[in-house]
Chains A and B, each alone.
Chain A
Amino acid sequence: MTRVVITGAGCVTPIGQDLVSFAENLFAGHSGIREMTDRPPELHFSHTGSVKDFRPEEWLTASQRPIAERSSAFAIAAARQAVSQSGLVAAYSGDSIAVILGCSTGGRTTEEQEYRKLYTTGGRIHPLTVPRVMASAGTSLVSMEHGFTGPAFTITTACASGTHAIGLAFHLVRSGAARAALTGAHEAPLTYAFLKGWDSLHVVSPTACRPFAADRDGMTLAEGAAVFAIEPLDSAQARGAEIIGEIVGFGMSSDAHHITQPAPAGPAAAMLRAIEDAHATPDEVGYINAHGTGTDVNDRVEAEAIHRVFGGRARTLPISSTKGLHGHAIGASGAMELLATVLALRRNLLPANAGLGGTGVDPALGLGHVLLANEPASPGLALSSSFAFGGLNAVLALRRFEA
């Protein structure tokens, strides 16, 4: 079977706007979660993971500038980094490269700005509103910039969008339906009405998210993008590309249960399917980069799912959620977490689960090895999990690349 490797990665995140700074802040435990500078006073929360000092003008070409709004600009910036690192353009014909990105919320900045004008003053709607707002704009703009004319689409499965996108791109490349792919996710959801919507759900932490902590009190919203270039191992090696990671399995499932409440059977099935797809067994898994949002329910249900898959090993299996550092960037979070997992395998260093400094890990979860600090380890297999609202689950399985 074709082995699929990662030969390029780019990111625009609250903890770094390139691979080097993301890695540095991830392993230094420098959080990108900060108090909002223009916080709407009525919100019950004060912190988000925003991409500080992102300058779209440094990334967007003259033709992209009028069309690309913040979310698409993140995609363009992350994709350009991945393309540049991988050398995909010179290696494959454009028609054999797929572009598959995840995006759940589309162009919210434009949408809210234009609709506000309309509803308050009855003014006109800017003619670029539709192309700026559509969730698939990022995929289109990235495909146009690099001349990639293979299969291209955007996946929207709320908080699992990025993981679904990467998983499907992995399957397309593994099956030969695409020779290579640019895949990941982008999201810019920190807009007034959207923040208010989340506030009403009462799932956002008043301070900062602390996944799996005994005193956890909710998630922290964030924004950003991460994009990967993937291709078959043999052609990557033949052209001497630097290989930074290997994707070996992908599993999906639906809870078919509730629009916001998760149920353990769905996440457990997605983890098992990812392991099966990797032709592995649960015993080989040595690290999970968990969905770990920091809400009471998610972390409880995810822990239960881990118990169902791993049995007694749930008490010893190294687990961390990196959302305590980069926050929850909705559809883009799975792509950021895949990046964290790739770096962990590459460096033989598992990143700590930030936010456990207070009361420590919730003993009721029965997870005995949530990482309090970075830990040297070389897991045989690692999982990166995303479990979305509406019970849509996606899990990627990775191995440290060894030729």
Chain B
Amino acid sequence: MTALLHAAPRGVLFLRAELGKLGAFLRRDFLIAWSYRLAFVSEWAGLALQAVTFYFVGKMIDPSVLPAYGGSPATYMEFVAIGIAMTAFVQLALSRVGHGLRGEQVQGTLESLLMTPTSPTTIQLGTVFYDVLYIPLRTAVFLVLVGLAFGLDFHTDGFVPALVVLFAFIPFVWGLGVANAGFLLTFRRGGGAAALLFTMLALFSGAFFPLDLLPGWLQGAAELNPIAIAIEGMREPLLGGTGWEGVGSDLLVLLPLSIVSLAAGLLVFRAALRRERRRGSLGLY
């Protein structure tokens, strides 16, 4: 009992110290991102151009082939805007989380980080913390701007449920990204596998076209795709105005998937780190 009483404050102190370090990572990565102002601007410009492209593509598409949300039909632009936002979110998160520590390895800073009294989990989280906050924010801002620019009819009372779906989905993507980071740490050039996985998940996610267009057997498989579940979970409240009712079942599926994905990702990553330490190849790239 006494041991427990002593252990608790130590644990709290440790947690507080480690959380404080996340702030340091956040500041560092903001300063680094800010030093690449042109890349920052071009990333947003690229996203806007993609939206414009789909706006014109949307003019050719018959809205009757699109699914109805909350009983009301959606335009293609409304349909695809959420798809673009979510696939861009997944792609960016997978890539940046995966390459976060790989970047440290290539820059030569990984060993300096590992020499500090910081837990490997904090280092892993720290290297992607800026992106974990920035990418969902970017997704939300993108949806708002596209909504305003193209006069899309989003239900404002659907924003909070949609954001909750997005946040429930973050650990899933993060887990994949962390696992990808582990593979990159081990195989150095494992980026291709992550890109292939993303392409497959995005293709069968219903981001750009309704899943109804797929052959029956593929449709069943695509409906189990977590990206598809998250996208539909966001479309329901935003396009159909279904509020919390529309997202309940999606959250029930997404949350356990997210927990499993994150836990598995962290395990893979820690195993990769241990392996590199044993092999003495942490600094090699």
Is B truly associated with A? Answer: no
